[in-house]
Structure 1
Amino acid sequence: MLKVGITGGIGVGKTIVTRMFALLGVPVYDSDARAKWVMRHNPDLQQELLATYGAATFTQAGELDRTYLASQVFNNPEKLAQLNSLVHPHVRRDFESWAAAQAGKPYVLKEAALMYESEAWKQMDQIITVSAPLELRLKRLLLRDTHRTEADITAIIAKQLSEEEKISRAHHVIYNDDRQLLIPQVLTLHQHFLLAKA
Protein backbone atom coordinates (compact mmCIF):
# COMPACT_ATOMS: atom_id res chain seq x y z
CA MET A 1 0.00 0.00 0.00
CA LEU A 2 1.23 3.46 -0.92
CA LYS A 3 1.31 5.97 1.94
CA VAL A 4 0.85 9.54 0.74
CA GLY A 5 1.28 12.54 3.00
CA ILE A 6 -0.55 15.80 2.38
CA THR A 7 0.58 19.02 3.98
CA GLY A 8 0.55 22.79 3.61
CA GLY A 9 0.38 25.90 5.74
CA ILE A 10 -2.71 27.27 7.46
CA GLY A 11 -5.29 28.57 4.99
CA VAL A 12 -4.02 26.76 1.87
CA GLY A 13 -7.07 24.47 1.70
CA LYS A 14 -5.77 21.05 2.78
CA THR A 15 -9.19 20.11 4.11
CA ILE A 16 -11.05 20.67 0.83
CA VAL A 17 -8.37 18.75 -1.07
CA THR A 18 -8.48 15.78 1.32
CA ARG A 19 -12.28 15.75 1.08
CA MET A 20 -11.96 15.38 -2.69
CA PHE A 21 -9.66 12.38 -2.25
CA ALA A 22 -12.08 10.93 0.32
CA LEU A 23 -14.93 11.24 -2.21
CA LEU A 24 -12.82 9.09 -4.55
CA GLY A 25 -12.79 6.39 -1.86
CA VAL A 26 -9.31 7.10 -0.51
CA PRO A 27 -8.96 6.53 3.26
CA VAL A 28 -7.78 9.77 4.92
CA TYR A 29 -6.02 10.02 8.28
CA ASP A 30 -6.52 13.43 9.90
CA SER A 31 -3.45 13.89 12.11
CA ASP A 32 -4.88 16.80 14.09
CA ALA A 33 -8.13 15.00 14.93
CA ARG A 34 -6.30 11.76 15.73
CA ALA A 35 -3.77 13.58 17.95
CA LYS A 36 -6.69 14.91 20.01
CA TRP A 37 -8.18 11.40 20.18
CA VAL A 38 -4.86 9.84 21.22
CA MET A 39 -4.38 12.48 23.95
CA ARG A 40 -7.79 11.53 25.37
CA HIS A 41 -7.52 7.76 25.02
CA ASN A 42 -3.89 6.63 25.25
CA PRO A 43 -3.04 5.90 28.92
CA ASP A 44 0.74 6.01 28.31
CA LEU A 45 0.54 9.46 26.74
CA GLN A 46 -1.83 10.64 29.49
CA GLN A 47 0.74 9.65 32.12
CA GLU A 48 3.46 11.50 30.19
CA LEU A 49 1.28 14.62 29.99
CA LEU A 50 0.45 14.46 33.71
CA ALA A 51 4.10 14.05 34.63
CA THR A 52 5.10 16.99 32.42
CA TYR A 53 2.27 19.51 32.89
CA GLY A 54 0.69 18.51 36.20
CA ALA A 55 -2.71 17.38 37.47
CA ALA A 56 -4.50 20.37 35.87
CA THR A 57 -3.87 18.78 32.44
CA PHE A 58 -7.03 16.74 32.98
CA THR A 59 -10.37 17.78 34.45
CA GLN A 60 -12.02 16.07 37.43
CA ALA A 61 -14.01 14.04 34.89
CA GLY A 62 -10.77 12.83 33.29
CA GLU A 63 -11.10 14.94 30.13
CA LEU A 64 -8.08 16.64 28.63
CA ASP A 65 -8.15 20.35 29.53
CA ARG A 66 -7.06 21.75 26.18
CA THR A 67 -7.35 25.36 27.37
CA TYR A 68 -4.96 24.71 30.25
CA LEU A 69 -2.54 22.79 28.05
CA ALA A 70 -2.59 25.55 25.43
CA SER A 71 -1.86 28.13 28.14
CA GLN A 72 1.22 26.13 29.14
CA VAL A 73 2.74 26.01 25.64
CA PHE A 74 1.39 29.17 23.98
CA ASN A 75 4.21 31.55 23.03
CA ASN A 76 6.75 29.18 24.54
CA PRO A 77 8.60 27.40 21.71
CA GLU A 78 10.49 25.09 24.08
CA LYS A 79 7.34 23.90 25.87
CA LEU A 80 5.52 23.49 22.53
CA ALA A 81 8.41 21.42 21.17
CA GLN A 82 8.27 19.33 24.36
CA LEU A 83 4.52 18.72 23.91
CA ASN A 84 5.05 17.75 20.28
CA SER A 85 7.87 15.38 21.27
CA LEU A 86 5.42 13.59 23.59
CA VAL A 87 2.43 13.48 21.24
CA HIS A 88 3.96 12.87 17.79
CA PRO A 89 5.47 9.40 18.46
CA HIS A 90 2.07 8.16 19.67
CA VAL A 91 0.36 9.64 16.60
CA ARG A 92 2.92 7.97 14.32
CA ARG A 93 2.15 4.59 15.93
CA ASP A 94 -1.59 5.28 15.72
CA PHE A 95 -1.20 6.01 11.98
CA GLU A 96 0.66 2.73 11.42
CA SER A 97 -2.15 0.77 13.13
CA TRP A 98 -4.76 2.68 11.14
CA ALA A 99 -2.92 2.13 7.84
CA ALA A 100 -2.61 -1.61 8.54
CA ALA A 101 -6.40 -1.73 8.94
CA GLN A 102 -6.80 -0.27 5.42
CA ALA A 103 -5.29 -3.38 3.81
CA GLY A 104 -6.46 -3.84 0.24
CA LYS A 105 -6.68 -0.13 -0.54
CA PRO A 106 -4.27 1.05 -3.27
CA TYR A 107 -3.17 4.02 -1.20
CA VAL A 108 -3.98 6.06 1.89
CA LEU A 109 -3.57 9.75 2.70
CA LYS A 110 -2.20 11.23 5.90
CA GLU A 111 -3.09 14.90 6.35
CA ALA A 112 -0.64 16.70 8.62
CA ALA A 113 0.11 20.42 8.90
CA LEU A 114 3.36 19.51 10.69
CA MET A 115 4.43 16.79 8.24
CA TYR A 116 8.12 17.75 8.39
CA GLU A 117 8.25 19.17 11.91
CA SER A 118 6.77 15.96 13.36
CA GLU A 119 8.95 13.79 11.10
CA ALA A 120 5.78 12.10 9.81
CA TRP A 121 7.24 12.45 6.30
CA LYS A 122 9.54 9.52 7.13
CA GLN A 123 6.48 7.21 7.13
CA MET A 124 5.35 8.40 3.69
CA ASP A 125 6.16 7.11 0.21
CA GLN A 126 5.19 10.40 -1.43
CA ILE A 127 4.25 13.90 -0.22
CA ILE A 128 1.74 16.40 -1.62
CA THR A 129 1.99 20.05 -0.65
CA VAL A 130 -1.11 22.21 -1.08
CA SER A 131 -0.07 25.75 -1.94
CA ALA A 132 -1.82 29.13 -2.08
CA PRO A 133 -0.59 32.75 -2.20
CA LEU A 134 -0.22 34.48 1.15
CA GLU A 135 -2.78 37.22 0.37
CA LEU A 136 -5.40 34.60 -0.51
CA ARG A 137 -4.62 32.60 2.64
CA LEU A 138 -5.06 35.71 4.79
CA LYS A 139 -8.38 36.50 3.09
CA ARG A 140 -9.69 32.95 3.62
CA LEU A 141 -8.58 32.80 7.23
CA LEU A 142 -10.08 36.18 8.16
CA LEU A 143 -13.42 34.90 6.80
CA ARG A 144 -13.10 31.48 8.47
CA ASP A 145 -11.53 32.38 11.82
CA THR A 146 -13.48 35.49 12.74
CA HIS A 147 -11.98 35.49 16.26
CA ARG A 148 -8.49 36.06 14.82
CA THR A 149 -6.95 39.31 13.58
CA GLU A 150 -4.67 39.60 10.59
CA ALA A 151 -1.75 39.98 13.02
CA ASP A 152 -2.74 36.71 14.75
CA ILE A 153 -2.83 34.86 11.44
CA THR A 154 0.44 36.37 10.22
CA ALA A 155 2.09 35.27 13.49
CA ILE A 156 0.83 31.68 13.01
CA ILE A 157 2.08 31.59 9.41
CA ALA A 158 5.47 32.97 10.49
CA LYS A 159 5.88 30.06 12.95
CA GLN A 160 5.19 27.44 10.28
CA LEU A 161 7.70 26.00 7.84
CA SER A 162 7.83 28.30 4.81
CA GLU A 163 5.75 27.62 1.70
CA GLU A 164 8.92 27.45 -0.38
CA GLU A 165 10.46 24.83 1.91
CA LYS A 166 7.32 22.68 1.80
CA ILE A 167 7.15 22.89 -2.00
CA SER A 168 10.85 22.06 -2.39
CA ARG A 169 10.47 18.93 -0.26
CA ALA A 170 7.24 17.68 -1.88
CA HIS A 171 6.88 15.14 -4.68
CA HIS A 172 3.68 16.85 -5.89
CA VAL A 173 2.11 20.30 -5.52
CA ILE A 174 -1.60 21.13 -5.71
CA TYR A 175 -2.19 24.82 -6.37
CA ASN A 176 -5.29 26.13 -4.62
CA ASP A 177 -4.86 29.68 -5.90
CA ASP A 178 -8.32 30.37 -7.41
CA ARG A 179 -6.71 30.27 -10.87
CA GLN A 180 -6.15 26.57 -11.38
CA LEU A 181 -9.05 24.15 -10.92
CA LEU A 182 -8.64 21.79 -7.99
CA ILE A 183 -10.63 18.78 -9.24
CA PRO A 184 -8.43 18.06 -12.31
CA GLN A 185 -5.29 18.31 -10.15
CA VAL A 186 -6.72 15.85 -7.62
CA LEU A 187 -7.90 13.44 -10.33
CA THR A 188 -4.49 13.50 -12.04
CA LEU A 189 -2.74 12.64 -8.78
CA HIS A 190 -5.34 9.99 -7.93
CA GLN A 191 -4.60 8.23 -11.24
CA HIS A 192 -0.87 8.63 -10.65
CA PHE A 193 -1.09 6.91 -7.25
CA LEU A 194 -3.30 4.12 -8.60
CA LEU A 195 -0.79 3.44 -11.38
CA ALA A 196 2.15 3.70 -8.98
CA LYS A 197 0.55 0.97 -6.86
CA ALA A 198 -0.48 -1.21 -9.82
Structure 2
Amino acid sequence: MLKVGLTGGIGSGKSTVAQLLEVLGVPVYYADDRAKQIMNTQIEVVAQIKQLLGEEAYQNKVVNRTFVAQMVFNDKVLLQKLNQIVHPAVKNDFEQWCRFNSNSKIVVQEAAILFENGGFKKFDKMILVTAPVETRINRVMLRDNVSKEKVMERMNNQWTDEQKIELADKIIVNDDKQSVIEQTIELIKEL
Protein backbone atom coordinates (compact mmCIF):
# COMPACT_ATOMS: atom_id res chain seq x y z
CA MET A 1 0.00 0.00 0.00
CA LEU A 2 1.31 3.43 -1.01
CA LYS A 3 0.76 6.00 1.75
CA VAL A 4 0.48 9.53 0.39
CA GLY A 5 0.38 12.77 2.34
CA LEU A 6 -1.70 15.62 0.90
CA THR A 7 -1.04 19.07 2.29
CA GLY A 8 -1.16 22.75 1.51
CA GLY A 9 -1.56 26.05 3.26
CA ILE A 10 -4.89 27.32 4.47
CA GLY A 11 -7.11 28.17 1.50
CA SER A 12 -4.91 26.35 -1.01
CA GLY A 13 -7.63 23.86 -1.99
CA LYS A 14 -6.25 20.67 -0.48
CA SER A 15 -9.77 19.59 0.55
CA THR A 16 -10.94 20.04 -3.05
CA VAL A 17 -8.11 17.80 -4.27
CA ALA A 18 -8.92 15.27 -1.52
CA GLN A 19 -12.55 15.14 -2.63
CA LEU A 20 -11.45 14.63 -6.25
CA LEU A 21 -9.22 11.76 -5.14
CA GLU A 22 -12.19 10.17 -3.36
CA VAL A 23 -14.31 10.49 -6.50
CA LEU A 24 -11.50 8.71 -8.35
CA GLY A 25 -11.72 5.84 -5.85
CA VAL A 26 -8.81 6.67 -3.53
CA PRO A 27 -9.57 6.42 0.21
CA VAL A 28 -8.83 9.73 1.97
CA TYR A 29 -8.26 10.22 5.69
CA TYR A 30 -9.11 13.78 6.73
CA ALA A 31 -6.71 14.32 9.64
CA ASP A 32 -8.12 17.64 10.84
CA ASP A 33 -11.68 16.28 10.95
CA ARG A 34 -10.54 13.13 12.74
CA ALA A 35 -8.50 15.23 15.20
CA LYS A 36 -11.66 17.14 16.12
CA GLN A 37 -13.54 13.87 16.69
CA ILE A 38 -10.67 12.45 18.75
CA MET A 39 -10.52 15.63 20.86
CA ASN A 40 -14.20 15.10 21.68
CA THR A 41 -14.33 11.34 22.15
CA GLN A 42 -11.05 9.87 23.40
CA ILE A 43 -11.17 10.10 27.19
CA GLU A 44 -7.38 10.23 27.61
CA VAL A 45 -7.04 13.04 25.08
CA VAL A 46 -9.89 15.04 26.65
CA ALA A 47 -8.28 14.70 30.09
CA GLN A 48 -4.87 15.82 28.82
CA ILE A 49 -6.34 18.84 27.02
CA LYS A 50 -8.26 19.86 30.14
CA GLN A 51 -5.07 19.51 32.17
CA LEU A 52 -3.18 21.68 29.67
CA LEU A 53 -5.79 24.36 28.95
CA GLY A 54 -8.27 24.09 31.80
CA GLU A 55 -11.91 23.01 32.05
CA GLU A 56 -12.93 25.94 29.79
CA ALA A 57 -11.42 24.00 26.87
CA TYR A 58 -14.68 22.03 26.82
CA GLN A 59 -18.24 23.28 26.78
CA ASN A 60 -21.14 20.81 26.98
CA LYS A 61 -18.63 17.92 26.60
CA VAL A 62 -17.42 19.30 23.25
CA VAL A 63 -14.12 21.03 22.64
CA ASN A 64 -14.56 24.80 22.78
CA ARG A 65 -12.71 25.57 19.57
CA THR A 66 -12.91 29.34 19.97
CA PHE A 67 -11.36 29.19 23.43
CA VAL A 68 -8.68 26.71 22.37
CA ALA A 69 -7.79 28.77 19.29
CA GLN A 70 -7.47 31.94 21.37
CA MET A 71 -5.19 30.11 23.80
CA VAL A 72 -2.80 28.49 21.32
CA PHE A 73 -2.61 30.53 18.13
CA ASN A 74 -0.39 33.23 19.59
CA ASP A 75 1.46 30.93 22.00
CA LYS A 76 3.73 28.59 20.06
CA VAL A 77 4.78 26.66 23.19
CA LEU A 78 1.18 25.97 24.17
CA LEU A 79 0.34 25.03 20.57
CA GLN A 80 3.26 22.59 20.54
CA LYS A 81 2.05 21.01 23.79
CA LEU A 82 -1.47 20.65 22.37
CA ASN A 83 -0.05 19.08 19.21
CA GLN A 84 1.96 16.64 21.35
CA ILE A 85 -1.36 15.43 22.77
CA VAL A 86 -3.41 15.32 19.57
CA HIS A 87 -0.91 14.26 16.89
CA PRO A 88 0.03 10.87 18.39
CA ALA A 89 -3.67 10.03 18.80
CA VAL A 90 -4.31 10.97 15.15
CA LYS A 91 -1.28 8.94 14.04
CA ASN A 92 -2.64 5.84 15.80
CA ASP A 93 -6.11 6.45 14.35
CA PHE A 94 -4.64 6.76 10.84
CA GLU A 95 -2.76 3.47 11.21
CA GLN A 96 -6.01 1.72 12.24
CA TRP A 97 -7.78 3.37 9.28
CA CYS A 98 -5.03 2.10 6.93
CA ARG A 99 -5.53 -1.46 8.19
CA PHE A 100 -9.27 -1.07 7.50
CA ASN A 101 -8.42 0.10 3.94
CA SER A 102 -5.70 -2.52 3.39
CA ASN A 103 -7.19 -3.61 0.03
CA SER A 104 -6.41 -0.21 -1.50
CA LYS A 105 -3.23 0.30 -3.51
CA ILE A 106 -3.10 3.96 -2.45
CA VAL A 107 -4.35 5.74 0.66
CA VAL A 108 -4.13 9.49 1.24
CA GLN A 109 -3.99 11.51 4.43
CA GLU A 110 -5.11 15.13 4.02
CA ALA A 111 -3.66 17.45 6.67
CA ALA A 112 -2.65 21.09 6.86
CA ILE A 113 0.71 20.92 8.63
CA LEU A 114 2.41 17.69 7.55
CA PHE A 115 5.66 19.49 6.76
CA GLU A 116 5.62 21.75 9.81
CA ASN A 117 5.16 18.90 12.29
CA GLY A 118 7.49 16.43 10.57
CA GLY A 119 4.59 14.10 9.76
CA PHE A 120 5.58 14.02 6.09
CA LYS A 121 8.38 11.57 6.93
CA LYS A 122 5.90 8.71 7.45
CA PHE A 123 4.59 8.90 3.86
CA ASP A 124 5.88 7.28 0.70
CA LYS A 125 4.94 10.36 -1.36
CA MET A 126 3.94 13.93 -0.58
CA ILE A 127 1.52 16.04 -2.63
CA LEU A 128 1.45 19.79 -2.10
CA VAL A 129 -1.46 21.96 -3.22
CA THR A 130 -0.43 25.56 -3.83
CA ALA A 131 -2.25 28.77 -4.67
CA PRO A 132 -1.27 32.45 -4.73
CA VAL A 133 -1.32 34.03 -1.27
CA GLU A 134 -3.96 36.65 -2.16
CA THR A 135 -6.20 33.94 -3.63
CA ARG A 136 -5.85 31.89 -0.45
CA ILE A 137 -6.63 34.89 1.74
CA ASN A 138 -9.75 35.73 -0.27
CA ARG A 139 -10.96 32.11 -0.22
CA VAL A 140 -10.63 31.84 3.56
CA MET A 141 -12.22 35.25 4.18
CA LEU A 142 -15.25 34.16 2.15
CA ARG A 143 -15.38 30.60 3.51
CA ASP A 144 -14.92 31.42 7.21
CA ASN A 145 -16.33 34.96 7.22
CA VAL A 146 -13.18 36.31 8.91
CA SER A 147 -10.96 39.34 8.46
CA LYS A 148 -7.77 39.41 6.45
CA GLU A 149 -5.87 39.83 9.72
CA LYS A 150 -7.35 36.60 11.12
CA VAL A 151 -6.39 34.72 7.96
CA MET A 152 -2.87 36.12 8.14
CA GLU A 153 -2.57 34.97 11.78
CA ARG A 154 -3.40 31.43 10.68
CA MET A 155 -1.06 31.62 7.69
CA ASN A 156 1.78 32.78 9.94
CA ASN A 157 1.52 29.47 11.83
CA GLN A 158 2.21 27.56 8.61
CA TRP A 159 5.24 27.33 6.36
CA THR A 160 5.23 29.20 3.06
CA ASP A 161 4.68 27.31 -0.19
CA GLU A 162 8.33 27.97 -1.05
CA GLN A 163 9.45 26.10 2.07
CA LYS A 164 7.13 23.18 1.34
CA ILE A 165 7.92 22.85 -2.38
CA GLU A 166 11.43 21.57 -1.61
CA LEU A 167 9.97 18.57 0.27
CA ALA A 168 7.04 17.78 -2.04
CA ASP A 169 7.08 14.94 -4.58
CA LYS A 170 4.23 16.41 -6.62
CA ILE A 171 2.66 19.86 -6.74
CA ILE A 172 -0.90 20.68 -7.75
CA VAL A 173 -1.38 24.33 -8.62
CA ASN A 174 -4.83 25.61 -7.68
CA ASP A 175 -4.63 29.14 -9.09
CA ASP A 176 -8.04 29.18 -10.83
CA LYS A 177 -6.18 29.08 -14.17
CA GLN A 178 -5.06 25.44 -14.42
CA SER A 179 -7.44 22.49 -14.20
CA VAL A 180 -7.19 20.89 -10.78
CA ILE A 181 -9.21 17.94 -12.09
CA GLU A 182 -6.71 17.23 -14.87
CA GLN A 183 -3.77 17.62 -12.48
CA THR A 184 -5.36 15.21 -9.99
CA ILE A 185 -6.13 12.60 -12.66
CA GLU A 186 -2.53 12.85 -13.89
CA LEU A 187 -1.31 12.46 -10.32
CA ILE A 188 -3.25 9.20 -9.88
CA LYS A 189 -1.76 7.87 -13.12
CA GLU A 190 1.74 8.70 -11.89
CA LEU A 191 1.17 7.05 -8.52
With structure 2 as the length reference, what TM-score do the two structures score?
0.93
Deviation at 1:154, TM superposition (A): 2.2
Question: Is 2:176 the counterpart of 1:191?
Answer: no
Q: Secondary structure at the match of 2:11?
A: coil
In structure 1, the partner of 2:180 is 182
Aligned to 1:170: 168
**What is the CA deviation profile of residues 86-129 of structure 1, one whole-angstrom value per residue up to 9, with x for unaligned ones?**
11111111111111110111101100101022322122110000
Change (3 A) 1:133 1:71: closer
Instruction: Measure how far apart 1:25 and its partner are.
Output: 1.1
Aligned partner of 1:26 in structure 2 is 26
1:150 deviates by 1.6
Deviation at 1:44, TM superposition (A): 1.7
CA distance in 1, matches of 2:10, 2:135: 11
Q: From 130, 137, 152, give the equivalent of 2:150.
A: 152
Q: Determine what percentage of the aligned residue pairs are the same residue.
A: 38
Secondary structure of the structure 2 residue equivalent to 1:85: helix
User: Who is 1:128 aligned against?
Assistant: 127
Tell me the equivalent position of 1:73: 72
Matched, 1:93 2:127: no
8 Å CA contact retained: 2:73, 2:154: no
Amino acid at match of 2:165: I
CA pair 151-50 structure 1, distance change in 2 beyond 3 A: closer
Instruction: Give 1 or 2 for the bigger CA radius of gyration.
Output: 1
SS of the residue corresponding to residue 178 of structure 1 reads coil
State the match for 2:54 in structure 1.
Answer: 54
Count of residues in Structure 1 that have an aligned counterpart in Structure 2: 191
Higher mean alpha-carbon deviation, 49-58 vs 86-95, is at 49-58
For structure 2, list consecutive stretches of 5 or more residues without a partner in the other structure: none
Q: Residues 180 and 29 from structure 1, CA distance in 2 versus in 1: closer, same or farther, beyond 3 angstroms?
A: same
- Which letter does structure 2 place at the counterpart of 1:135? E
Query: Normalization by structure 1: what TM-score?
Result: 0.90
SS at match of 1:180: coil
CA change 1:135–1:64 in 2 (3 A) is closer
Which amino acid is 2:37 matched to?
W
Work out the CA distance in 1 between the residues paired with 2:137 and 2:101: 36
Q: Residues 178 and 67 (structure 1 numbering): CA distance in 2 closer, same or farther, change over 3 Å? A: closer
Cα 1:122/1:73, change in 2 over 3 Å: same
CA distance in 2, matches of 1:179, 1:161: 24
SS at structure 1 position matched to 2:172: strand
Q: CA RMSD in A?
A: 1.5
1:56 Cα deviation after fit: 2.8
Question: Match of 1:189, SS?
Answer: helix
Unaligned runs of 5+ in 1: 194-198
Q: 1:138 maps to which residue?
A: 137
